[in-house]
Structures are given as C-alpha cells and as structure tokens.
Amino acid sequence: MFISDCYIVHRAYLNFQAWEMRHNDYARSEIHKQLFMPLTHLLFDAEESHKLAIWLAKHNLSPKDLTEDDVILNLKVWNKKLSNPIGLAAGFDKNGEAIDGLFDFGFGFVEIGSVTPLPQPGNPKPRMFRLKEDKAVINRYGFNSFGHNEVEDNLMSRVRSFLRKNTIYHTNDEVLNNVNKSLKSGKLLGINLGKNKTSPSESDKDYLDGIRNLGSYADYIVINISSPNTPGLRSLQRKEPMLRLLNDAIKTRNKLENRPPLLVKIAPDLNNEELEDIANVIQESKVDGVIISNTTITRNNLKSEYRTETGGLSGKPLLNLSLETVKKFYKLTNGQVLIVGCGGISNGKDALKFCKAGATLVQVYTALGYDGPGLVNNIKSEVLKELGEKKWQELFESGYTVDVKCNDCEIDDEDNGVNVDNMNIDAPQAKKDNPSTNIFISSNNETQTNLKKKLLKELLNSNKTKKRVREEKPTVDCEVCKFKLGTGGVRKGIINENLNTSPTISTTGFFNLDQNFWEEPSFNVEVVCLKCVDKYLFCSECGGGGNKRTGKWRPKQMFQSKRKTCSLPHIRI
C-alpha cells in the first residue's frame, strides 16, 4: 500500500513540476498547500508523510526555489555570510539523507539530527500524531537515529560528490577551504547532537563523541539537552550539569580545525529561576548561541483528536510560549547571546515577531508538514513586504523590540502585567489580522482573578486623562533614542462584564480579547526600544524646570540601588 501510494504522489509531483515552471511563486506554493499536502495527509499517517518528504527531497523530486535571495534578507553570523535567516529545525532530516534537496526549498540554513552515537530505533510506533485543528504535531520519536558512523558516511558522500564536480582545476583542499560546510554559498549546515537512551544520564560522553566525529562537517553544532522523549535528558538543563557539559564541549570543539560555533537547544517549559540559571551558564561557558525552543510538554486549549498523546507538542500552540522565552532570555543576557527562534512559526509575521523579540535567526518545521515546501518562499516574501527598505540585520541590531511603560503606576515589564509583545503598532492592520493583540496594564501583585475588576474599576474609570496626541497615522518612536519603531499608536484591551462569554487566559498569562474591546489608554504610555531599556531608567523628578516635572530618561549609572530618581539635584524654583 505504501509503495503504490508513493507512486501516485510521485507521478503527481512530476506532472506538477512541469506545470510549475510556467507559474509564479504564489501559485506554486498555494497548489502545494491546497492540493498536495491534503493528498499526502489523506494517503499517509504523519510518520509515513515524513518519510515520503525525505525520500522526495533525497532524490531531487521536491519542488525547488532557486531564486536568489533579496539583499534585504542577507546577514552575517559567526563571521559567515547567510543569504536569509530562515532555517529548517532539527528533527526533519535526522540522518543527513536529503540535505541538498532541503536547501533547494529556499532555506538559509538546514540543521540535521538529532544524531546519537549508536544506532537506535527510537520509541515504538505510532509515535507521531497530527493535530489538524490546532496546526500542531505531537511526537515521541525518542531520538531514532542511524548513529554517528552512517550519518558521517552520508556527509562524506556529499563531500565526495561535490569534489568530483569542482576539482577539475583545483585540489580538494583548495575547494573545501573556500566554501562553507554546507557546500553552498551563503548557506549553513548545522548538526544537532543527541544522546543514546542507554547512556548514563549523568554522562556527557555522547555529546563529546558527536563533536569529535561530526564537527568537521558542520558550520555549527547543537547540543540538544531538551527533548522530552529521552528519559532524564532535560535534567542536563540544571545549572551544574549544564555548566560541566558546555565547558567540556567547548574544549572538545576547540580541538577541531574548523572550530564550528557551538549552540545549545533548550526547552520552553522553564520557570524564571531555571531560565536565569541557563542564561548565566551560557554566558559563563561562552557558547556561541542558543536555540529557543524545543517542543513543549504542556497542553493548553487543544481541540484535536490526539491532544492527549504523550510526547513533545510543536506547531502553532507553541508560538507564544517560545516567543516569551526568547524575550526573557534576551533581557537576561542583555542581547549578548545569539538566539535562534524556533516554535510555531508559520508565516512572515511570526518570523518578524521572533526577530523583534531578539532572535537573529528563525527555524521552521511543523508548518512545513501543513503548508508544504512553498512555506519557505512565502515566509521570505511576507518578511520582505513587512520590512520595506529596512534590512533584517538592521532590525535585530536596532533593538526594534519595544517595552511599554505606564508612568502613572510605574509598571514596566510583563511580570507585572504588561504584555510587551502586544503593543499595537499600525493598529488598524493589527486588529484586522489578529483581533486578540492588545496591550493591557494591571497593577503590581494583581492575581488573574482580580484582573477583570482592576481593568474596569481603576483603568477605565481613572481620573488620569493624559493621552498621547494622535494624528491619523503618527510615527511611533522610541522615547529615548527616537528610533522609528513603526506607525500607529498604542491601544489597550478592555473587558466588557455584560458579555456572556468571558475572556480566556493564554498560556503566557494574558487575556485574549475580542477586537470590540479596544479603547484609547487613559494613562501616559512611554514606548521604549529594548536597547534603551537596558541602558536607561525613567526619572520622574527631571525635566520641565520650575515646579513642573515632565520626567526624563537617564543612564542607569545615575541611579542608586532601590532609588526611583537619579542622582542629579532636583531643586524646584
């Protein structure tokens, strides 16, 4: 049955490839999304579809996007040029079988693995489940892997094939020294390392062997200590074991001639203390980056048939959880550690959310199984449209992510009730595309059960009537450095007690509000980019002169511990 079904899909792809040469990118991606993906979902279960996708890419039968990336998407990471910041996450091509075919989808970087030292079959089937209504997947593969030796054979086979085509006038060393390990200009190849199920939980040997055996084939290496499907693996995210592992991994990496950047992949299911420990360890060990995040073990508001299956959840429900983890990690490290954002990304706006939150690169996986290979081109096209003339590299370097501060009640972070991500820039379009986006403010120490009462009684009926002056479409600038963040303004979500349906609380702890619940804020709102938030504090006693004080942002060095005003004399005349 599987063979005959493969033949049907294969013939359909061949006919489609002849058709697609005469049509534009949008038409090609839509036909994949609307025709071929539903067809494969009808004929195959989730794991069989996964195998088919690898087989097609391996034999160069998948669609190709060979157009040159716009320079707006070009960037430089680890002193290497990258044509675009969209990558394929680990788990899709576990054994390095289809690297070239996957690069042809249009990715800037492809990450293979996780690869374990010894071959292992993984967990019993069924172990992968589509959650169609949620655009998600639950998997409990359990690091099924061919092992280091066979994956190395696959990688070496690519190198030999590349050399046969490119060493007519040059030696092998001359060719290999002038190209990335991906063997493609402007592209990077990552190798994600895992641990055998039978290895002692406290042992780091599997990862160190992986660096020695496979590191010379990689543009970057990833230490995966966050899969929920290998017993005891996530315990390596604790401070002491993680510091030991990363220090030893750095020493082992430094012995390789190519010294590839070393990253660590972490889980989204971390409390603030655990995340702070991880941030400190990553900075202390001086690894080159972090991937945020792996799959989650949480299950919130899922609708699909297989929602109760055990394993890691990926796809759309992971988006907010992963995004919040990126924001927190960026703040904890002051933007000094390169972040690869991963989790629930399915369009260009999702990718930009991660970039604005502090991610230099982003990865996709689950959405590829729903939208097909055209997803990559769609994301890049949407990003280009949103960026205009601004470059991706400028976006994450500028501190574009915003923080929202209410000067009246001195609240300035999401821990105290401010949903930083949901500032409504370009409000009309944001409302149209995502009615639940909003900013809302609550006071310190407010519990979720009191938020409705707080919003209604104290904010909507507030005597504080100070408002930002609005034009039809004013510019939203950083209050400190005056960097242009966007156009539109700031609105807040309100709750109507007369409605029969009450708002739901999302996994990030914030209300999802209908578009009917928007109104102008009745308090003074400061919009500040994260780079300035890291360097400045607001002094309410500065500015204005005389008895009138408008407040000014001052460098943090001018503030003593636990004081809310700066060290300047505030003499009222």
- For tokens 């190798």, name the residue: 191
Same domain flag for 361 and 234: yes
**Do 319 and 188 lie in a common domain?**
yes
Which residue, of 362, 397, 432, is where some domain finishes? 397
Residue 466 and residue 386 share a domain: no
Domain boundary among 397, 415, 438: 397
Is 227 an annotated catalytic residue?
yes
Do 336 and 297 sit in the same domain of this protein?
A: yes
Could you tell me if residue 19 is inside a domain?
no
Which residue is catalytic, options 62, 145, 182, 227?
Answer: 227
Amino acid letter, residue 32: H
Examine the domain organization and report whether 391 and 418 are in the same domain. no
Q: CA-to-CA distance for 99 and 71, rounded, in angstroms? A: 24
Is 210 inside any structural domain? yes
Domain finish residue from 364, 397, 430: 397
Query: Do 221 and 160 share a structural domain?
Result: yes
The torsion angle over the Cα atoms of residues 427, 428, 434 and 439, rounded to 10 degrees, is 30
Q: Would you state the pLDDT for residue 104?
A: 95
Which two tokens mark 447? 């519990």
In degrees, rounded to 5, the angle at the alpha carbon of residue 143 between the alpha carbons of residues 139 and 148 is 150
pLDDT value, residue 534 = 73
Q: Is there a single domain that holds both residue 109 and residue 149?
A: yes
Where in the sequence is the domain holding 483, given as residue range(s)?
Answer: 402-558
Please indicate, yes or no, whether residues 422 and 277 belong to a single structural domain of this protein. no
Cβ-count burial 277-289 (b if 16+ within 10 Å, e if not): bbbebbeebebbb
Instruction: Quote the number of domains for the chain.
Output: 2
Question: In a 3-state reduction of DSSP, which class is residue 289?
Answer: strand
Closest CA to 445 of 454, 436, 434: 454
Closest C-alpha among 454, 461, 397 to residue 76: 397
Q: Which pair of structure tokens corresponds to residue 288?
A: 């080159």
CATH code (residue 278): 3.20.20.70
- Statement to judge: residues 393 and 251 lie in one domain: yes
567 lies in some domain:
no
- Phi, psi of 186, deg, nearest 5: 75, 15
Residues 491, 415 within the same domain: yes
The pair phi, psi for residue 386, each rounded to 5°, is -70, -35
Continuous H helices in 59-187: 99-103, 148-166, 172-176
Query: Distance between the two ends of the chain, CA-based, in angstroms?
Result: 89
Whether residues 281 and 224 share a domain: the answer is yes
- Please check whether residue 12 lies inside any domain of the structure: no
pLDDT at 549: 66
Residues 452, 382, single domain; the answer is no
**10 Å Cβ neighbour count for 74?**
17
Residue 520 lies in a domain: yes
Rounded-to-integer distance, Cα 243 and Cα 282, Å: 8
The span from the CA of 253 to the CA of 19, in Å, is 47
Domain contains 4 = no
The rounded distance, in Å, linking the Cα atoms of 325 and 276 is: 11
pLDDT tens readout for residues 96-118:
999 999 999 999 999 999 999 99
Domain for residue 568, yes or no?
A: no
Query: For 233, which DSSP code?
Result: G
Q: In whole angstroms, what is the distance from residue 102 CA to residue 393 CA?
A: 24
- The span from the CA of 456 to the CA of 475, in Å, is 29
DSSP code per residue over 61-96: -S----PPPPGGG-EEETTEEES-SEEEPTTSSTTS
Place of tokens 């609307």: 34
- For the chain, residues with pLDDT lower than 70 are 1-32, 168-171, 175, 397-477, 483-531, 544-549, 572-573
Beta strand extents in 320-436 (DSSP E only): 339-342, 361-364, 402-406
**154 occurs within a structural domain:** yes
Determine phi and psi for 194, rounding to 5 degrees. Answer: -120, -170
The pLDDT of residue 404 is 41
